[in-house]
Amino acid sequence: MEIVQYPHPALRWKSSDVKRIDASMRKTIEEMFELMYAAKGIGLAANQVALPLRLFIMNETGDSQEKDAEFVFINPEITSRKGSALGEEGCLSLPELYAEVRRPNEITVEAFDLDGQGFEITLDDLPARVIQHELDHLDGVLFIDRISESAEKELAPKLADFEIRFRNLQSSGDVPTDEEIVANLEAQVTSLTQG
Ligand code: ZN
């Protein structure tokens, strides 16, 4: 498992609901936490490790010792949004790239935890922003889709660099082609619906 970078097609994938939480899913989530901490992130969505599943993890402290701050959101849904706030965002799939994004400041989210228990939580400020950013990933939406036109212009050369780098990795065979990646995501979705 590894964190994929823009413009990997998994980042544009609209993910499927999780149907079953089993030992292999727990292992997957454990690995996602390890990757997130290693990359100094505070949130990571399944799309970012090329899994077409509606789940993400969060630890707003970014500290692997702070187990109480670890959250797993499975099949999450935002049920309420309040206020509006501008804040800087980055993404482990777009390293070193930052921009201001306007989002609701307070949200209520419903989800299932790793024990399959439903829960509801209302959060504001940073964790609310992380949740909205990660939930966007599950719909194939990136924070760069939500930035101002002027920020978009400013970031365009950097995004072009990401694009060139990714296409080079594909040309050298270090990364599968878009067609292969999409076929793999589709195969995973098929095995999910059959399982
Ligand atoms: Zn992200």
Predicted local confidence at residue 195, as pLDDT:
56
Which are the catalytic amino acids? 134
Tell me: the pLDDT tens digits for 25-59? Answer: 999 999 999 999 999 999 999 999 999 999 999 99
- Segment 70-78 shows an average pLDDT of 98
- For 6-25, how does the pLDDT look when each residue is reduced to its tens digit (9 = 90+)? 999 999 999 999 999 999 99
**Strand, helix or coil at 92?**
coil
Parallel, antiparallel or unpaired: strands 94-103 and 43-45: unpaired
Give the distance (Å) from ligand 1 centre to CA of residue 71.
16
Per-residue pLDDT at 194 exceeds 90 = no
What are the angstrom distances between the C-alpha of 90 and each of 94, 145, 190? Answer: 7, 12, 32
Taking the model in full, what pTM does it have? 0.96
Q: Report the distance separating Cα 181 and Cα 189, nearest Å.
A: 13
Distance 10 CA to ligand 1 centre (A): 12
d(CA 7, CA 67): 32
Q: Residue 79 Cα, ligand 1 centroid: separation in angstroms?
A: 21
Task: Give the single-character DSSP code of 54.
Answer: S
The CATH class for the domain spanning 9-194 reads alpha beta
Q: What is the mean pLDDT of the chain?
A: 96
CA atoms of 37 and 44, how far apart (whole Å) = 10
Which pLDDT score, from 0 to 100, does residue 151 have?
95
